[in-house]
Structure 1
Amino acid sequence: MPGPPVIRSAADVTALINSGRARGGKSRAITFIALGGIFIDAYDFSSIAFGLGDITKTFRLSPVQEGVVSASIMVGALLGALAGGYLVDRLGRYRMFMADMIFFVVAALACAIAPNYELLTGARFVMGIGIGIDFPVALAFIAEFNAMRGRGGKVSLWQPMWYLATGASFLVLLPLYFLVPMAQHGDLWRWAVGFGAVPAVVVMLVRHKYMDESPAWAAGQGDLERAARILKNSYGLDVEAGDPGPAVTQRASGLKEFAKLFRGRYRVRTIQAGAVSALQSVQYYAVGFALPAIIAGLLHQGRLTSILGPLLFNLVFGVLGGLLGVRLSNRLGSWKLALSGFAICFLALAGLGLMGSASGLALLGVGGLLGIFVFFHSYGPGAQGMTIATLSYPTSLRGVGSGFGQAMLRLGSMLALFFFPILSSALGTGVFYAVALAPLLGLLVLILIRWDPTRVDVDAEAGEPAPDRNRGELTR
């Protein structure tokens, strides 16, 4: 009888998981626990979207101060993503996974009771740091505990989870609308934001009880004995720790690791991942995130409709579109999903611009186009920006790579949150034409760069010499 498999590197661990010998165990549970963090990320981002108008009135904010409150969480998320991506590779997935939950609990409660604009802005900034750290580590966990076939779909599960959480924030608001006296409706946002501390505590406790470090990361640090123990605990798989090669024990070294993203075979992948992440973020935060403002401002509907509309769009169109993308991931791959999604989002936004200020039955047409936009954003580019950024790099660079993708996503969101109110005020419904430039640019990038990480085992190529350009990644 052959002896137990021998592991000498992170690539060996990944190959073992890809071989199918490491099945079942905790991998599925770890995937959903990681997605629990993304649920909190999305909930905390969206819970304040409904209340921005009330916050402005409560604290008598100027337009600039309103923009600062709205963008503060994005600035924190940008810094958290850049620092968190490095720390995830340096300190490990598990340590960072546990630490970032503290940000969510403290910041959510501070937001809920904030007596002034300054404390609210500071708490949102801290919350953003936690989100920026959590996203790269969650996606790295999902990628490293699942086999290559189906990995793209597992990583893409973050998108329907995002819409489920966004819908949940409006689901919390709905009963409060009827239970809280009308005179106190201006404080509904405090209840929604503060409630975010509850799932954060639950996820933190579950993570502590059931999660372990990534075996691929442990092996990449030269701790093969620990990697073997994790494989035993997580999959019930007996493996033997061999002698690590000299390159295995190299650790992340800050800016040098970021520089690697723009060298050799990784350069065009990084450009594609960064562009898709940023552009999908622009279109989402201009339209999907701003649904309450669009319904109340551009479509002139009341407070209850501003709760029910986003609730419907997120829980129905967003979740179902994301699940369809997960379902088709193995068949189509990331590139085709992002390309087709951008194309339909462009057509939906152009249609919204043509519809203009609708009333009566025409509102149903506007609602249908908004639903189509949310569905195909979730199905395609919404998920694939971060999926590409996570799967395009080997274990040693995965945290930095996904952190860079998060940083580009946050840059896109800050641009959308800052310029959309200004443009909508100047252009009215013509603002949808301006937003349509984002999916159009996304289409052009994908036509030029045809890289699809769901078709390649990047950990297997990590030990190969890196050519300056991968064949097939650029169109000829």
Structure 2
Amino acid sequence: MSQPEPVLIRSARDVTDLVNSGAARGSHATMIVIIALGGIFIDAYDFSSLAYGMRDITVQFGLSPVGAGIVNASIMVGAVVGALGGGYLVDKIGRYRVFMADMLFFVIAALGCALAPNAEVLVVFRFLMGVGVGMDLPVAMAFLAEFSRLRGKGSKGSRTASWSAAWFVATSACYLIILGLYFLIPAENHGVLWRFTVGFGAVPALVVLLIRHRYMNESPAWAAGQGDLEGAAAILRKSYGVNAVVAPEAKIVKAPKRSIRAEFGRLFNRTYRRRTWLSLAVALAQTFGYNAVAYGLPVIIAGFLAQGPLTTISASLVLNVCFAVTGGLLGIRWVRSQGAWKLTALGFAVQFAALVALALIGRPSGQELAVAALLALGAFLFAQGWGPGANYMTFATLSYPTSLRGVGVGFNQGMLRIGSTASLFLFPVLSASLGTGVFWVIALAPALGLLALLLVRWEPVGYDVDAEDSETEKGGVPTDPAETRR
């Protein structure tokens, strides 16, 4: 078989142009995207695995509502630490090393939670699990963006939005495993069903660790940005099958050394501050609503809708598969033509209407109202899948070039997890005191998210944000098109 014509690499921009144009394609690159989505699958599974078991955990460990809130929120506290630290490390030491480290966190934390003898140990391992999740999202989103073309099928916009489908597939898989275990485990042992479910989360992380040497590789865009054009060319040859060769006259520009404070400070310079604030507003709005509804789904169905354990598991599974997963898959397709801004705005509007409907229905007094309440929950999850749930990560990932992507996603995730910690802590407390009136409070989240989008009309899908790194290398100051692009 003849060797393909050599492609000369003269700068970091040549590397990103090859990937962005779609000229660089390869099976290893596709596998890296799949493995990155596998990391997101593990994130979602670990988050969801204790949601159903919270009632049994509360009984088993004798927790008060505040104690249950602490157990619930501990994973988010860890995620704040992991996101802020991991986001910086993703840009500092590379995507590959951080990805491998957080897989180890998942294995240890999943087994530790499953074997926890008391609430205190459970909180510690939930915290460690959160650190792994926080580290994983910046690196996974960087892989999705940096191993994808700029436009068309398999574009950056589609693949960053695909994280939502992977998340909901994992959530559905979690409920499917719970359903299987429900029938396998004797009824008298259902109180410890959550331990088996959580422990199973170590399996996919072990699979990723086992296959990492064959397929995983560093991002060529990151390597080139560090001044390692030879390394970037080697990755292009291995992962894409492109016969990349560094030209003799290549311009080697090493990434400037900045302090942690300086790196995070770049998020608020003239170019990026509007994008940063919009990404953060969308993230916080969607996470408050989603955490309250999705992680509280078993509580809503079993408590507010007065259903038994089997119906609770089955309804949660059906709602996730039929609405959330379907919405996530459609979002991958729709974002290419509609963009992230329009889908997110419309999604927030649908969620607001669904939450108002749930608040008005209250505790259903008949079968018709119970069905209406379930459909409202489904509408919320459907809109989450293709709207804010998918695209808040698109805003966070594609608003920044390669040199700032890890820090940008890490900061967004860190702040989001603080909001998530508050929502997971407050939901059990507010639902206990307000009952179904809690939906009026939750409805404020999508309303505020929609307001933020109307104030800043920034569309990241299809925009070549890596060109801004090239402008910086030349000594220029990137301009911010956020005020005019839509």
Partner residue, 1:263 = 269
Partner residue, 1:466 = 477
| Residues 439/86 of structure 1: CA separation in 2 closer, same or farther (3 Å cut) | same
Is contact 1:264-1:466 (8 Å) kept?
Answer: no
Gaps of 5+ in 1: none
Q: Does 1:32 align with 2:34?
A: yes
Per-residue deviation, 1:355: 1.1
Per-residue deviation, 1:330: 0.9
More moved, 22-31 vs 340-349: 22-31
For 1:456, what is the secondary structure of its paired residue?
coil
Is contact 2:227-2:252 (8 Å) kept?
Answer: no
- The letter for the 2-side match of 1:331 is S
Partner residue, 2:192 = 187
The residue correspondences of 1:290-309 to structure 2 (distance < 5 A) are 290-309=296-315
Deviations 1:213-237 (A, max 9, x none): 1101111111110100000011111
Q: Does 1:70 align with 2:72?
A: yes
- The letter for the 2-side match of 1:137 is V
Per-residue deviation, 1:30: 1.2
Per-residue deviation, 1:471: 5.6
* Structure 2 Cα separation of the partners of residues 277 and 473 of structure 1: 22
| Residues 112/184 of structure 1: CA separation in 2 closer, same or farther (3 Å cut) | same
Is contact 2:229-2:252 (8 Å) kept?
Answer: no
Q: Does 1:386 align with 2:386?
A: no
Per-residue deviation, 1:467: 5.9
Partner residue, 1:416 = 423
- The letter for the 2-side match of 1:191 is F
2:350 to 344, 349, 357: 344
The residue correspondences of 1:273-422 to structure 2 (distance < 5 A) are 273-358=279-364, 359-422=366-429
* Structure 1 Cα separation of the partners of residues 11 and 257 of structure 2: 13
Per-residue deviation, 1:417: 0.8
More moved, 179-188 vs 247-256: 247-256
Q: CA RMSD in A?
A: 1.7
* Structure 2 Cα separation of the partners of residues 325 and 263 of structure 1: 31
Partner residue, 1:213 = 218
- The letter for the 2-side match of 1:343 is A
Per-residue deviation, 1:164: 0.6
Per-residue deviation, 1:24: 3.2
Is contact 2:65-2:428 (8 Å) kept?
Answer: no
Deviations 1:404-434 (A, max 9, x none): 1211321221121122222222221111111
For 1:462, what is the secondary structure of its paired residue?
helix
* Structure 1 Cα separation of the partners of residues 293 and 406 of structure 2: 29
* Structure 2 Cα separation of the partners of residues 33 and 67 of structure 1: 32
Gaps of 5+ in 2: none
> Among the aligned pairs, what percent are the same residue?
56
Q: Does 1:437 align with 2:439?
A: no
Q: TM-score, normalised by structure 1?
A: 0.96
* Structure 1 Cα separation of the partners of residues 339 and 125 of structure 2: 39
* Structure 1 Cα separation of the partners of residues 282 and 133 of structure 2: 20
Deviations 1:179-206 (A, max 9, x none): 2122111101001000111111012212
Partner residue, 1:53 = 55
Per-residue deviation, 1:386: 1.1
Number of paired residues? Answer: 474
Per-residue deviation, 1:252: 4.9
Per-residue deviation, 1:85: 0.3
Partner residue, 1:238 = 243
* Structure 1 Cα separation of the partners of residues 183 and 91 of structure 2: 47
Partner residue, 2:165 = 160
1:169 to 150, 165, 174: 174
* Structure 2 Cα separation of the partners of residues 403 and 458 of structure 1: 18
* Structure 2 Cα separation of the partners of residues 396 and 170 of structure 1: 38
- The letter for the 1-side match of 2:403 is S
- The letter for the 1-side match of 2:37 is L
Is contact 2:11-2:252 (8 Å) kept?
Answer: no
Q: TM-score, normalised by structure 2?
A: 0.94
